[in-house]
Chains A and B, each alone.
Chain A
Amino acid sequence: DIQMTQSPSSLSASVGDRVTITCRASQSISSYLNWYQQKPGKAPKLLIYAASSLQSGVPSRFSGSGSGTDFTLTISSLQPEDFATYYCQQSYSTLLITFGPGTKVDIK
C-alpha cells in the first residue's frame, strides 16, 4: 500500500498569509496526486489534480507542485473562506487509493 503523510497536521494563520502544506508518499507516485478542501459538514472539494493542475472554478491563489514522493499545496494569500481541512490523495494506484491524514487550517 502507498502511505501518504502530511505536514503539518494543523496550522494557525492570518488572512493574507502565505500557507504551505506538504504531502509525502511512501513510494514514487509520479504526478498522481490530488488536493481536496473540506469544510465542516461538507463533502470534499477538488482543488488541484495531477499535482499542479488547477480545477476549474478554483481561485488562482491555490497552487500545487511536486512529483515523485514530495508535493506541496500553497495558498498565496489566505482568505477567510480558506479556513478548512486539506487532504492529499494519491491516484497512482486506482486499485488502492489512499488519502493523507489531513491538515487543518484555522484562524490565528
Chain B
Amino acid sequence: EPEVTQTPSHQVTQMGQEVILRCVPISNHLYFYWYRQILGQKVEFLVSFYNNEISEKSEIFDDQFSVERPDGSNFTLKIRSTKLEDSAMYFCASSEALVGREDEQYFGPGTRLTVT
C-alpha cells in the first residue's frame, strides 16, 4: 500500500534556528498538506498546497513558515527562527483529489520537532 513518508522522525533544534521538515507524498497525489499537533492537543491545519502554490493557510501559518515542492517528489515545510512553542508533531498529508469531495487524506508518520 502506498504511503506518505516523512524525515526526520525527530528533530531537535535550538531556539532561533531554521528547520526544514521533509515529506514525500504518494506519487499520484495532487494535494498536499501540513498539520501540527502540540502534545496532548488536537491536530491543527497549517497549509494546503496544490499546483505549486498555497491554496489555503491557517492563522498559524505566518511569515515564519513556508512550503515548497522543490522537485517532483518532495514537499517541505520550513520554519524560520524557531520558537519554543513550535515544539510539536508535524504531519504531512496528501490526497488524490480535493478533500471532502469523496476522497481521503493519507497522513505520514510525523516529525517530532523539539525546540530547546
Co-assembled chains A and B: no
